[in-house]
C-alpha cells in the first residue's frame, strides 16, 4: 500500500485535565476525500488545529507523506502543502478579493526584501506573474468579476468560496475544510459539493472535511472517520459507517427524531 498523504497515529491532546482528543488514528489516502464527523465537542476542530500546528500535540504523531509534522511551526506546515479553511470564516476582511488571494500566493514569488524595496527587475517580473496566476485562479473559481470588491462586502456564500480560493493559492496537497457548508442553504450546499469534487481533480488535492450536513458527507466522501468525546467511534466507507449501530446511536440517531 502506498504512503498515505496524512496519517494520525495515536493522536492525543490534553488541555489541563480535559482530554479533547484521545488516541485517534486514521489516514487520508492520496487524492481521496475523507470526512471527519461527530457531535459538537467531539474534538474535530481540535484535530485540525493539531494537524496545522496551531496546538502542540500531547502524545502520538502526525505524519504528512510519511514524515512527522507534529513539532513544526504552523507557517512551515502550510509551506509543505497543508492548509485549511475555518469554521467561522477568517478572511482578510478589509482587503479586496484579489488581495486576499494575492497575499496567500506569496510563496510563488521568489524576490527578496531588498529587491522589493528598490523594485529591481525580478520584483516586477514576479509580481506580474503572481497577478496573472491569481486572476486565473479567480476565474476558475468564478470570482474574477468580483476581484476588486472588499471581501467583507461579499455575500456569505462567496466569502466561503473566497476562503477556499485563498487556500488553493498556496498550491496545497492537502486541504482541510472546517464545516464549509455551515450556514448554507441546500442549493448552496449542492454547489459546494460539486466544487469540492471539481477542485480535487483540477488541483490534484487530497481533502479532509469536517461537516454536519450528512448529505454532503455521504455525497462526496470516500472514507469517513467518526469521533465522539475525543475518541474514535467508527472508521470506514460511508455505507458501513452509516449503518454502524454505535454511530446511529451517538450521532446519526438525531436524524430520525428530526
Partner 1 sequence: MEYILGIFELSAINLVAVLGLSILTGFTGLFSFGHAGFMAIGAYVGGILTKNLHYPFWVAIIAAGLSAGLVSIVIGRLTLKLKGDYFCIATMGFGEAVRLIFSNMNYVNGARGLADIPQFKGASLAIPFVVAVIAIVVAWNLVNSRQGRNMVAVREEELAAQMAGINVLGSKMVAMIASAVLAGVAGALMANFIGFIAPKSFNMTKSTELTIIVIFGGLGSISGSVIGAFLLTALPELLRAFSDWRLVFYGLAVIVIMVGRPQGLLGGSELTPSGIRKMLADRKAKAAFARAKAGGRES
Residues binding partner 1 (CB under 8 A) = 52-54, 73-75, 78-79, 83-84, 86, 90-96, 99, 102-104, 106-107, 109, 111, 113, 116-119, 123, 127, 130, 148-150, 153, 155-156, 166-167, 169-170
Q: How far is the CB of 234 from partner 1 (least distance, A)?
A: 29
Non-local CB neighbours of 167 within 8 Å, separated by 6+ positions: 83, 84, 85, 104, 175
Nearer to partner 1, 13 or 223 (CB): 13
Nearer to partner 1, 103 or 240 (CB): 103
Q: How far is the CB of 84 from partner 1 (least distance, A)?
A: 6
Q: Which residue's entry shows cell 494520525?
A: 8
Nearer to partner 1, 19 or 108 (CB): 108
Nearer to partner 1, 29 or 115 (CB): 115
Q: How far is the CB of 83 from partner 1 (least distance, A)?
A: 6
Q: How far is the CB of 206 from partner 1 (least distance, A)?
A: 17
Nearer to partner 1, 134 or 228 (CB): 134
Q: How far is the CB of 163 from partner 1 (least distance, A)?
A: 8
Amino acid at each position: 500500500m502506498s504512503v498515505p498523504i496524512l496519517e494520525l497515529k495515536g493522536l492525543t491532546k490534553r488541555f489541563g485535565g480535559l482530554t479533547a482528543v484521545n488516541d485517534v488514528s486514521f489516514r487520508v489516502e492520496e487524492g481521496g476525500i475523507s470526512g471527519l464527523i461527530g457531535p459538537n465537542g467531539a474534538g474535530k476542530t481540535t484535530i485540525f488545529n493539531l494537524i496545522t500546528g496551531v496546538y502542540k500535540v500531547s502524545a502520538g504523531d502526525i505524519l504528512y507523506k510519511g514524515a512527522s509534522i507534529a513539532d513544526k511551526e504552523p507557517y512551515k506546515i502550510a509551506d509543505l502543502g497543508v492548509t485549511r479553511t475555518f469554521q467561522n470564516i477568517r478572511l482578510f476582511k478589509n482587503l479586496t478579493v484579489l488581495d486576499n488571494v494575492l497575499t496567500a500566493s506569496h510563496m510563488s514569488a521568489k524576490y527578496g526584501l531588498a529587491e522589493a524595496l528598490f523594485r529591481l527587475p525580478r520584483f516586477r517580473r514576479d509580481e506580474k506573474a503572481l497577478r496573472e496566476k491569481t486572476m486565473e485562479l479567480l476565474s476558475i473559481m468564478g470570482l474574477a468579476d468580483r476581484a476588486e470588491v472588499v471581501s467583507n462586502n461579499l455575500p456569505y456564500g462567496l466569502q466561503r468560496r473566497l476562503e477556499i480560493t485563498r487556500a488553493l493559492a498556496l498550491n496545497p496537497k492537502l486541504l482541510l475544510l472546517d464545516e464549509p457548508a455551515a450556514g448554507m442553504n441546500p442549493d448552496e450546499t449542492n454547489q459546494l459539493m460539486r466544487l469540492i469534487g471539481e477542485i480535487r481533480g483540477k488541483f490534484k488535492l487530497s481533502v479532509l472535511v469536517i461537516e454536519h450536513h450528512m448529505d454532503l458527507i455521504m455525497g462526496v466522501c470516500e472514507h469517513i472517520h467518526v469521533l465522539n468525546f475525543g475518541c474514535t467511534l467508527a472508521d470506514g466507507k460511508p455505507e458501513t459507517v452509516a449503518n454502524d449501530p454505535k454511530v446511529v446511536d451517538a450521532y446519526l440517531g438525531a436524524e430520525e427524531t428530526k
